[in-house]
A = this chain, B = another copy of it.
Amino acid sequence: MGIEALFFDLSGVIYSGLRPVPGVVERVNALRRRGYCLRFVTNTASQSRDYVLNMLTGMGVALTPDELFTAPAVAAQWVRSHGYRPFLLVSPNVVGEFDGIARDDPDCVVLGDAGDALSYANLNRAFGLLLAGAPLVGIGYNRYYHDGEDMKLDAGTFVHALEWASGREAVIMGKPGADFFAAVVRSTGFAPQQCLMVGDDVFGDVEGALRAGLQACLVRTGKYREGDEGRIAGRFAVLDSAADVAPERVVAQ
């Protein structure tokens, strides 16, 4: 079995800042013409799906809405399919993903990049729900991020804190969560080992994909730092850029 589907991380892989990585858009469109199934997967929890879709289209990436998987949208789909009523600690920009889901008398906690809404009072409310048996859905599991000026605590730190306090394990929607990768794989109709994740984050993209049974490719753009390929175990390809992706050379293991 060879590779049938390619999953591309966005920031640092397709574009860096707001500019496309040279040659990547052309390569992605060429892979589509060659018949590969394409998916675009991002943990971004501060921008709506429509915003990301418009940005990709504006850069010349040919894609349909159902090929784009943002962590908040996948979290909303998980909540919807399980019939939960979420207590949302997310950015106002992504609340819209949860439209149509009842939120009164919540029995589930969804925690993302919520900024100042991550108050002691709100975290205690979430903690009380967890103790009463509500599941915790984490949008991403990153410890921190750089906001352009400073390092800021990311959602993962608060998800981890609630896990530690409650003794419960979160469902991580977003890379490196296995449930998240599984949702994207399911949409392709292929087996995990027929899917290749292309990313610049050796933990979130590459290690997460390998753990979920996918193939993986680390690219030396975006957040890649010298030596990253040595930080994890497992077999994966390393390329200078997603413009060099050649799935016919990857053999499913």
Contacts and interface: CB of A to CB of B under 8 A. Distances in A.
Interface of A: 114-121, 123-124, 127-128, 131, 143-144, 150-154, 157-158, 160-162, 164-165
A217 B151 CA distance: 45
Nearest to A159: B161
Contact of A157 (B117, B118, B153, B161): B161
A116 B124 contact: no
21 contacts: A114-B120, A117-B120, A118-B120, A118-B123, A119-B120, A120-B153, A123-B153, A124-B150, A127-B153, A128-B150, A128-B151, A144-B165, A153-B161, A153-B165, A154-B165, A157-B161, A157-B164, A157-B165, A158-B161, A160-B161, A160-B164
Question: How often does this chain occur in the complex, in copies?
Answer: 2
Contact of A116 (B119, B150, B161, B164): B119
Contact of A153 (B124, B151, B154): B124
B164 A151 contact: no
Contacts of A165: 143-144, 153-154, 157
Contacts of A158: 161
A7 B1 CA distance: 68
A179 to B, nearest CB: 21
A128 B114 CA distance: 19
Given A120-B116, A120-B118, A144 B127 contact: yes
